[in-house]
Structure 1
Amino acid sequence: MHTATPAASQESVKVSIVVPTYNTGETVLTGLRSFLAQTMPRAQFEIIYVDDESSDGTVALLEAEIAEQGAEATARVVRTEHSGWPGRPRNIGTDLARGEFVHYVDDDDRLAPEALERMYARARETGADIVIGRMAGHGRRAPRTLFEQPMTSGDLRTDTALLASMTVHKLFRRAFLREHRLRFPEGKVRLEDHMFTLRAFLLTDRVATVHDYTCYHWVRHSDGKHNVSYRTIEPRPYVESIRRVLAVLEAPDTYVPPGRHRNRLVAKWYGKKALDRIAGQRLLDQPEERRAEWIEAVGALAAELPPETDTALPTRLRIVAALARHGDRTLLEEQARFEAGVGHRPRVESAWWREGQLTVRCSTYLVRRDSGRGRGRGSAPLAFTRHGDRRVLRLPPRVAAVDAVAARADFAKAVRRSNIRGQLRHREGGTVLNLATTWRVAEVPVAGGEDSRPGGRTARIRAACRKSARLAVRLTARLAARLTGRPGGRLSGAGRHGEDVCTLRYEAEFTVDPATADHGRPLAPGIWDLHFQLGCGGWRTSRRLRGHSIDVPEATGLTAEPASHQVPPPRQRRAPSTAART
């Protein structure tokens, strides 16, 4: 049984916003007010809140705000028996929806003013069954690469780009949902949104994006009271949910045949949702008893999957997978301690404004923080051993002694496929923009064959990197293409030194034009911080370039060199580099 306030107007409805609520409190009003502030006329959309029997004043707050805003014809609140999870409320809201499209929103998130208008227009323009609006994360990591280019007909059966966005915060054609009987699992089921979204993606080849406007603000509250899915995760039920997600690939209407593409799909959940739980700091943060439960649960899943599944994993997780199958908890914990210290430390070499554009040259290298040292201190570049074409990560000796691990510790391909980006992050709004970046990676010899174990590195590694920095030659996109035969400037320095042990130094350059940086449009007013992202072999971190930001004024029109920019001109004091925080 469920009850509702009066329904919306019977006029044609373009979009139905469906929001499950439970003890959300006053933060629920932020979302409601963002819906009522949409540029789409109110008569063209409806808001359906489905309350999962809140015990606080959430329903009263909503109903009072709806009445005060005179929005009774637009918004309604439905009460239902407590189910403990968003699945059933979303199903109820979908059944009540009358819109051509349904947009699922969480109760503490919000939409940007033009979100519905832009997403609906994109759906009509492309004929899409699903439209994904650009997202900004607040306390969460929102997808970014998905919005680098416009997408008009995304298809998960031929491309993995859609794996970047598996939450349900999207626009779905209601006829598409009905035709395929798409429903959310009900009850306390982890990853229920992934089960729904994966099935939806596999049932259509018409997925579009709004890439040039931030539509959805995805919020995680620090008090832990609002996001129901951030309750303590029990390992066995969670891994069982991963099995249920993977079972979608076996269902008759969403079947994906065995092979390379299927392995890449499986890796999304096997790697990021399972193996990552028993790696690095995520494992070490768990109490000892919970660690054992996670290792047992993930190990059981690893034993069920064919070994060829590992081929789609990033290199660091292939090592973890080998250890999970090996079954030695002490080795997994030793590898986790090793991984917990891995990150990168960027440094701005130079930055200057010219004709209204900011150019930044920076460098970084993968580092590992030695245990027992102060934050940012005691770090040394990660070391690799060269064996012909192989670049083998120097792991803790007992870990490296496992045969399956030794076979998977080669990072040569991962280094060639490294992902380097300059980024802009809007401090107030949360939008992240990836910048076209020219980069190269060079091998730097480690003097004397230094060991990479904690305590085994010396200042000579850092001295070698500093020497490399002084000798580094600017690599433009044109020169990079000539040297590598590929656009983008990826050049490996492999094999140029005779030493057996090396570390990696990344050098990059990017340019920002505030007048066009947001896909041809000016940057929004506010402060945009510059970041440097490094991804290699499964390690991916983005570090802020401290002291380097662009302050875009509220006034329309941008001067050639904004007076408020915080990047120092050439030959003046250089901003401090960002310390590695791993």
Structure 2
Amino acid sequence: MMSIQTSHVPDVSVIIAAYNAMPYLTKSVTSALEQSIGHDRLEIIAVNDGSTDATGAELDRLAAGHPGTLKVIHQENSGGPARPRNRALDIARGRFVFILDADDYLGPEALERMVAVADANGTDVVLGKTIGVGGRKSPTMYKKNEENTDVFSSRAYWTLNPMKLYRRELLEKHRIRFGYELRVCEDQPFVMLAYLRASGISVVADYDCVYWSYRDDGGNITRTIQDLPSRVEVLQHMLPLVASEVPAGPRRDLLIHRHLEIDLPWILRRIAHVEERAEQEKVLADLRPLFDAYYTEALAAGLPAMLRLQCHLIQHGMLDELLTVRRFNEVPSADRVFDVTVEDGRAYAHYPYFRDDAVAIPDSVYDYTAQLSIRQDVGPLSLDEESAVLRVEGSVRLHRVPQEQQATLIVRERDGAAEHRVALDSTDRLCLPLRSAADGRPLATGTWDVFIGLSTGGHTQEARLGGQAEASGTVSVRHELCDGTQLRPVRAYFTQHGNLSIKVSAPVSRLRRDLEPDKASWSPADPSRVLLSGTLRGLGQGERLLVRLTNAVGSRQEFTIAVDPQTGRFEQAVPLTAPGDWRVQWLLDVPGATPRRATRAVSVPEDLGVTQWRRRLLQFWYAKPLPAGKTKTLTLRVGRKSLVKGLLRK
């Protein structure tokens, strides 16, 4: 992307707090220096926080090569990134500020793209897509670009890492700085306040903006801190802060949900491994007031059942039960066995203490309805050509639910609102009758996505049928469905995501597809007849092939053609009995079809001449083809000649 010239005030100040960051620091700073936004729109402020390795020397070396762009500050070690970041913020001049960790780096066009989005939409915070490097995981909520959103209508709050673009006016107006109260996650209050005070948030999801590195020495600060009390302090600080900024209700619950889903599990995973029971009891004692103050029924209902159960045990100080649940939860998910009961439309997980009268935990704590899923073991496709029934090998079940289940195949029009349902006899016999899938009729032209619906205990769950990677390689099934006088080309296939879809192409006349006529000629045995022959495939019981002759005033003559049921061959001489211009057409008659009859023109042979015959002693008849018109339909002019009149005329 091209650099744009601007005033001496830089567009972006990149802030890097560095402590013992070698050798990662070089790539981090270089990625900022090489931004496509250009040096005239950029300043970089790097603060060496008392490093004991070569960090300080490397910063000085880089600054010497870019004296107008890179500014280096050396200070005594402060114990964390908050103070060096704040010091850089105090002297930053850019319209925007980007916080970059010293072991991470930027995509070449990251800053230019993010500034452009902020300027175009007037937003104060921009999230750029992050990519994990070397095995480090990064947030996955960057699904699509967002021009202007907020934390209540997006997943932005699920990433509280500070590596984002901030409008500096926002930070100065509200005096937003990194706090010193927390030993870990000190960036959470900073980012949260920026989110809530911002005029809007933009997301750049179509470009890899920030690369998160996995340090070989394990030096990422989030990986080196293993202090359980410090993690409890994060919740003790953040939940009251959220409450002070957002009134009680669904919006507050949404933000607290994030902390319970992301921060609390870190604590729960380690509490069982604390050696001293007194320390375990203290953790619960520190957490309980938070649950008493901020844990609502609505918030609990939105949590996964396992996390909801642990929150209930924390809130009620049930340490022994919590430790039992933790041991159950630490079993690998593939080996964790439990049933799910469905009653009155709700599903309940049989986690420890479910309906244990001695513990008396409400069923609502075990509500698993939102997590209930359909387990599919779907394999190849096959088609019974005679019955036109599509079969999907495999079975489907509501996962972990042992109850009897009723299954339904659902076909939904991809670009429309039509939907059809086909009840199944069993969850392991997945059959779709193509002739009657649409309420007794074939599916209409278009693409249809196939879903499976399973019902039990008053609850119905639906999902796309398929959904397995190995299914996507299965060969598709093609079929020409006979629908009365028409053929409907049908293709059943698995999409690139492994889901079953059916494409029904536009109907084709059976006469055009299955009739292969020979060239029309005059019968050698009777010159008053036109000889028609050929082959017709797939003529069903009760169906007839006819020839229709129609004249200018609408009079019709129809003749049934005898077709060999084994070979499909036919040969028949059709009589010409009345004078006039007669158009000749094939006719397929299918009782009960809509339309019942379909026509096809008999083609004009190039070498069909004139034929003559005598009917009475002195009366001669003739027939000849008329020139082919636009429809290229054979039209025969039939007339008669009187021998007496001919002689008198002479």
Instruction: Please confirm whether the aligned pair reaches a TM-score higher than 0.5, indicating the same fold.
Output: yes
Match of 2:348 in 1: 392
Amino acid paired to 1:323: L
| Distance change (3 Å), C-alpha of 1:496 and 1:304 | closer
Report the secondary structure of 2:351's partner residue: coil
Query: Residues of 2 paired with 1:84 and 1:316: CA distance?
Result: 37
Match of 2:227 among 225, 228, 234: 234
Query: Residues of 2 paired with 1:390 and 1:125: CA distance?
Result: 47
Report the secondary structure of 1:403's partner residue: coil
> Are 2:136 and 2:212, in contact at CA under 8 Å, matched by a contact in 1?
yes
Amino acid paired to 1:332: L
Q: How far is the alpha carbon of 1:155 from its aligned partner?
A: 1.7
- The 5 A counterparts of 1:370-409 are 382-397=338-353, 400-401=356-357, 402-404=359-361, 406-409=363-366
Amino acid paired to 2:83: R
Match of 1:493 in 2: 454
- The 5 A counterparts of 1:94-243 are 94-138=89-133, 139-145=135-141, 147-156=142-151, 158-186=152-180, 189-224=183-218, 226-243=219-236
| Distance change (3 Å), C-alpha of 1:93 and 1:209 | same
Query: Residues of 2 paired with 1:63 and 1:228: CA distance?
Result: 24
Amino acid paired to 1:301: L
Q: How far is the alpha carbon of 1:331 from its aligned partner?
A: 1.4
> Are 1:45 and 1:99, in contact at CA under 8 Å, matched by a contact in 2?
yes
Query: Residues of 2 paired with 1:491 and 1:137: CA distance?
Result: 36
Match of 1:553 in 2: none
Match of 1:333 in 2: 323
Report the secondary structure of 1:391's partner residue: strand
User: Which digits, 9 at most, give the CA deviation of each residue in 1:182-210, with x for residues without a partner?
Assistant: 11103653322110111111112311011
> Are 1:51 and 1:80, in contact at CA under 8 Å, matched by a contact in 2?
yes
Amino acid paired to 1:268: R
Q: How far is the alpha carbon of 1:212 from its aligned partner?
A: 0.2
- The 5 A counterparts of 1:267-306 are 267-274=257-264, 276-279=265-268, 281-284=269-272, 286-287=274-275, 291-306=280-295
> Are 1:331 and 1:398, in contact at CA under 8 Å, matched by a contact in 2?
no
> Are 1:20 and 1:52, in contact at CA under 8 Å, matched by a contact in 2?
yes
Match of 1:368 in 2: 335
Query: Residues of 2 paired with 1:385 and 1:259: CA distance?
Result: 31
Query: Residues of 1 paired with 2:216 and 2:235: CA distance?
Result: 26
Report the secondary structure of 2:149's partner residue: coil
Match of 1:310 in 2: 300
Match of 1:355 in 2: none
Q: How far is the alpha carbon of 1:49 from its aligned partner?
A: 0.6
Query: Residues of 2 paired with 1:409 and 1:307: CA distance?
Result: 16
Compare CA radii of gyration and give the structure with the larger one: 2
User: Which digits, 9 at most, give the CA deviation of each residue in 1:289-336, with x for residues without a partner?
Assistant: 565554443344334434434234232211111111232322112111
User: Which digits, 9 at most, give the CA deviation of each residue in 1:65-106, with x for residues without a partner?
Assistant: 343xx2222112111232211111111111111111100011
Match of 2:420 in 1: none
User: Which digits, 9 at most, give the CA deviation of each residue in 1:336-387, with x for residues without a partner?
Assistant: 12112253xxxxxxxxxxxxxxxxxxxxxxx434xxxxxxxxxx5x421222
Query: Residues of 1 paired with 2:285 and 2:176: CA distance?
Result: 33
| Distance change (3 Å), C-alpha of 1:419 and 1:179 | farther
Amino acid paired to 1:141: K
| Distance change (3 Å), C-alpha of 1:174 and 1:232 | closer
Query: Residues of 2 paired with 1:444 and 1:247: CA distance?
Result: 39
Query: Residues of 2 paired with 1:148 and 1:419: CA distance?
Result: 26
Q: How far is the alpha carbon of 1:489 from its aligned partner?
A: 7.8
Query: Residues of 2 paired with 1:489 and 1:336: CA distance?
Result: 39
> Are 1:103 and 1:170, in contact at CA under 8 Å, matched by a contact in 2?
yes
Amino acid paired to 1:410: D
User: Which digits, 9 at most, give the CA deviation of each residue in 1:511-564, with x for residues without a partner?
Assistant: 99xxxxxxxxxxxxxxxxx999xxxxxxxxxxxxxxxxxxxxxxxxxxxxxxxx
Q: How far is the alpha carbon of 1:54 from its aligned partner?
A: 1.4
Task: Give aligned-pair identity as a percent.
Answer: 27
Query: Residues of 2 paired with 1:398 and 1:391: CA distance?
Result: 12
Report the secondary structure of 1:408's partner residue: helix
> Are 2:105 and 2:211, in contact at CA under 8 Å, matched by a contact in 1?
yes
Matched, 1:259 2:216: no
> Are 1:24 and 1:58, in contact at CA under 8 Å, matched by a contact in 2?
yes
| Distance change (3 Å), C-alpha of 1:183 and 1:396 | same
Matched, 1:412 2:407: no
Match of 2:51 in 1: 54
> Are 1:85 and 1:187, in contact at CA under 8 Å, matched by a contact in 2?
no
Give the total of aligned pairs.
413
Report the secondary structure of 1:51's partner residue: strand
Query: Residues of 2 paired with 1:231 and 1:250: CA distance?
Result: 30
| Distance change (3 Å), C-alpha of 1:489 and 1:180 | farther
Query: Residues of 1 paired with 2:232 and 2:314: CA distance?
Result: 14
Match of 1:82 in 2: 77
| Distance change (3 Å), C-alpha of 1:413 and 1:304 | same
Q: Which has the higher strand share?
A: 2
Query: Residues of 1 paired with 2:375 and 2:92: CA distance?
Result: 42
Q: How far is the alpha carbon of 1:282 from its aligned partner?
A: 4.5
| Distance change (3 Å), C-alpha of 1:171 and 1:446 | closer
| Distance change (3 Å), C-alpha of 1:182 and 1:338 | same
RMSD, aligned CA: 3.9
Amino acid paired to 2:120: E
Match of 2:237 in 1: 244
Amino acid paired to 2:140: R
Q: Which moved more, 1:307-316 or 1:189-198?
A: 307-316
User: Which fold has the larger relative contact order, with Cα–Cα distance below 8 Å and residues 6 or more apart in sequence?
Assistant: 1
Match of 2:467 in 1: 508
Q: Which has the higher helix share?
A: 1
Query: Residues of 1 paired with 2:72 and 2:311: CA distance?
Result: 47
Report the secondary structure of 1:182's partner residue: coil
> Are 1:22 and 1:52, in contact at CA under 8 Å, matched by a contact in 2?
yes
Match of 1:93 among 63, 88, 91: 88
Match of 2:33 among 31, 36, 39: 36
Q: How far is the alpha carbon of 1:215 from its aligned partner?
A: 0.2
Query: Residues of 2 paired with 1:489 and 1:288: CA distance?
Result: 55
Query: Residues of 1 paired with 2:351 and 2:281: CA distance?
Result: 22
Please list every run of 5 or more consecutive structure 1 residues that lacks an aligned counterpart in the other structure: 1-8, 344-366, 370-379, 421-439, 450-467, 513-529, 533-582
Q: Which moved more, 1:101-110 or 1:291-300?
A: 291-300
Q: How far is the alpha carbon of 1:284 from its aligned partner?
A: 4.4
Q: How far is the alpha carbon of 1:469 from its aligned partner?
A: 9.1
Query: Residues of 2 paired with 1:335 and 1:505: CA distance?
Result: 33
TM-score by length of 2: 0.57
> Are 1:385 and 1:392, in contact at CA under 8 Å, matched by a contact in 2?
yes
User: Which digits, 9 at most, give the CA deviation of each residue in 1:260-279, with x for residues without a partner?
Assistant: 221111121134212x1354
Match of 1:443 among 376, 395, 398: 398
Match of 2:647 in 1: none
Q: How far is the alpha carbon of 1:470 from its aligned partner?
A: 6.3
Q: How far is the alpha carbon of 1:419 from its aligned partner?
A: 13
Query: Residues of 2 paired with 1:85 and 1:445: CA distance?
Result: 47
Query: Residues of 1 paired with 2:396 and 2:254: CA distance?
Result: 26
Query: Residues of 2 paired with 1:245 and 1:410: CA distance?
Result: 27
| Distance change (3 Å), C-alpha of 1:258 and 1:135 | same
Query: Residues of 2 paired with 1:62 and 1:488: CA distance?
Result: 58
